[in-house]
Chains A and B, each alone.
Chain A
Amino acid sequence: GQSLEQPSEVTAVEGAIVQINCTYQTSGFYGLSWYQQHDGGAPTFLSYNALDGLEETGRFSSFLSRSDSYGYLLLQELQMKDSASYFCAVSPDRDDKIIFGKGTRLHILP
């Protein structure tokens, strides 16, 4: 089957850096996306990687290694408002289906 694995929970301290990992096992691969979802809200798009390497958007960066079927989301200078769930998502093949991970709940301590 096709699956994405990410930790269920991560805890970090305000002002610190945290990394959320995502490994995938899919029949094919076109790119890895990341979404943020606050409690009671809708998911919002954060970043997308199609090629190996690091993409930076402000305090958030996303990394992809296609050879390792692995990516991560890096959040720097953590703020309390970053407390949310984070989902990775992959489109595994050309029929455009999308598979999401189960999500990582990020807890931030003051």
Chain B
Amino acid sequence: EAQVTQNPRYLITVTGKKLTVTCSQNMNHEYMSWYRQDPGLGLRQIYYSMNVEVTDKGDVPEGYKVSRKEKRNFPLILESPSPNQTSLYFCASSPSRDEQYFGPGTRLTVT
């Protein structure tokens, strides 16, 4: 089954404790992206990647890191999480940037 998977689905952590949210897709898509979704703000792009070893900043990259060492994986790294990073996070992949397939989401709470 073609899909985008994210792990974990739910995470509660404390300020400053490094964490990684994994994202994997099995559709051989070149374009992958991370978004955060907050009430009233819609989806905001954090980082995106056009291909392996190619990443670039979206609109809200501060406090986040990504890597794209393999085509299928695009992990999101929070080196020192803060409470303002409490949010719902979505990973997406796409054969072209305009038709994206989203993962199920990761709900992150930073206390």
Contact of B48 with A97 in the complex, beta carbons under 8 Å: yes
The count of residues in chain A whose C-beta lies closer than 8 Å to any C-beta of chain B is 22
Contact of B48 with A96 in the complex, beta carbons under 8 Å: yes
Contact of A97 with B43 in the complex, beta carbons under 8 Å: no
Give the nearest-CB partner of B100 in chain A.
Answer: A45
Q: Shortest distance in angstroms between A20's beta carbon and chain B's nearest beta carbon?
A: 14
Main secondary structure on chain B at its contact with chain A? strand
Main secondary structure on chain A at its contact with chain B? loop
Q: A97-B56, A100-B45 are in contact. List 12 more A-B contacts (CB 8 A).
A: A35-B100, A43-B92, A43-B100, A44-B102, A45-B99, A48-B99, A87-B43, A91-B97, A95-B56, A96-B48, A96-B56, A98-B48
Residues of A within 8 A of B (CB): 30-31, 33, 35, 42-45, 48, 50, 87, 89, 91, 95-103
Residues of B within 8 A of A (CB): 31, 33, 35, 40-45, 48, 50, 56, 58-59, 90, 92, 97-105
